[in-house]
Chain A
Amino acid sequence: DTGVSQDPRHKITKRGQNVTFRCDPISEHNRLYWYRQTLGQGPEFLTYFQNEAQLEKSRLLSDRFSAERPKGSFSTLEIQRTEQGDSAMYLCASSPPSLTEAFFGQGTRLTVV
Chain B
Amino acid sequence: DAKTTQPNSMESNEEEPVHLPCNHSTISGTDYIHWYRQLPSQGPEYVIHGLTSNVNNRMASLAIAEDRKSSTLILHRATLRDAAVYYCILRGYTGANSKLTFGKGITLSVRP
Q: Using a CB–CB distance below 8 Å, which chain A residues touch chain B?
A: 4, 31, 33, 35, 40-45, 48, 50, 55-56, 91, 93, 95, 99-107
Whether A91 and B43, one on each chain, are in contact in the complex, defined by CB atoms closer than 8 angstroms, is yes
> Which residues of the other chain, A, contact B91 by a CB distance below 8 angstroms?
99
> Which residues of the other chain, B, contact A43 by a CB distance below 8 angstroms?
44, 100, 102
Whether A42 and B43, one on each chain, are in contact in the complex, defined by CB atoms closer than 8 angstroms, is no
Whether B98 and A31, one on each chain, are in contact in the complex, defined by CB atoms closer than 8 angstroms, is yes
Task: Report the nearest A residue to B95, measured CB to CB.
Answer: A55
**Is B3 part of the contact surface with A, judged by Cβ < 8 Å?**
no
> Which residues of the other chain, B, contact A104 by a CB distance below 8 angstroms?
43-45
Min Cβ gap B51→A in Å is 12
Bound-state Cα–Cα, A103 to B43, Å: 9
Q: Using a CB–CB distance below 8 Å, which chain B residues touch chain A?
A: 34, 36, 42-46, 49, 85, 87, 91, 93, 95-96, 98-105
Assuming the contacts A99-B91, A99-B93, A101-B49, asked whether A45 and B42 have C-beta atoms less than 8 A apart, the reply is no
A-B contact pairs, 7 of them (CB 8 A): A31-B98, A33-B100, A43-B100, A45-B100, A55-B96, A56-B95, A93-B100
Q: Give 11 A-B pairs besides A42-B104, A48-B98, A101-B49 with Cβ atoms closer than 8 angstroms.
A: A43-B102, A44-B102, A45-B99, A50-B95, A56-B99, A91-B43, A95-B98, A99-B93, A101-B34, A102-B36, A106-B43
> Which residues of the other chain, A, contact B95 by a CB distance below 8 angstroms?
50, 55-56
Task: Report the nearest B residue to A109, measured CB to CB.
Answer: B41
